Amino acid sequence: MAITYFGKEVLTTLEEWTDPKHAAVVVVDVQNDFCSPGGHVHRRGQDVTPLQTMLGNLRRLLDGARQAGTRIIYIQHTVYRDGSTESPAYLAYRLKLHGGSYPELCIDGTWGHQICDEVAPQPGEIVVRKHRQPPWIGTDLDQLLRSNGIKTVIATGTMTSACVDWTARLGVQLDYYVVVPEDCVAQTDCVAHEAAIATLRRYLPDGGVTTTDELLRVWGIAVPAGAN
């Protein structure tokens, strides 16, 4: 139930936060290079099974969100082919992150850059292209959300301890309520995933880390597992 501090209404429950009138599902970097067999992550020898499992859960959530009338916004990590999106400082960071070699990852126009077919945007749904891990930097995401009266970000996608974590924690600092369905976020490193979820449980208000089933219950939507 909402409470009042300094004359301001503070929402305190999952039902209040995720009201379709003011909530949006933000789908972060669910792209072939991260999630699909044959994508960059898989080619580097990492097991994408956790990401593939997440896609099934996310599809259920998106189906439910559409039925409930909850806005959906996709985030698409994008690297320009000529490298003009990559500063020297950011290149140094990426080289460190990828073991000293530059990753051919999410290059604009490639198959790996595309959003996975399993959860592809439907006509009219917004796709925001980003060039850094946090989707708030150098994009119009914040303006799009505020312009449409969004109070709550439901953060989903990849990778839990990186881009999803940036989305969630910076979202709070930008004055959004944040909800993270833990079965709709994933990464190849399961230990890092679990550590990130534990951190988000400490960081977000009680109930901020939830599940697909719980969100569908709140919206009054029944989407069976395996539904298209």
Rounded Cα distance between 51 and 46, Å, is: 11
State the catalytic residue, choosing from 130, 151, 165, 183.
Answer: 130
State the catalytic residue, choosing from 106, 163, 165, 183.
Answer: 163
Angle at 8 between CA 209 and CA 207, to 5 degrees: 10
Nearest to 29 by CA among 124, 123, 141: 141
Contact 200, 165 (CB under 8 A): yes
Q: How many CB atoms lie within 10 A of CB 94?
A: 15
- Asked if the bond preceding 54 is cis, omega within 30° of 0, the reply is no
Q: Is 163 a catalytic residue?
A: yes
Catalytically active residues, by annotation = 29, 130, 163
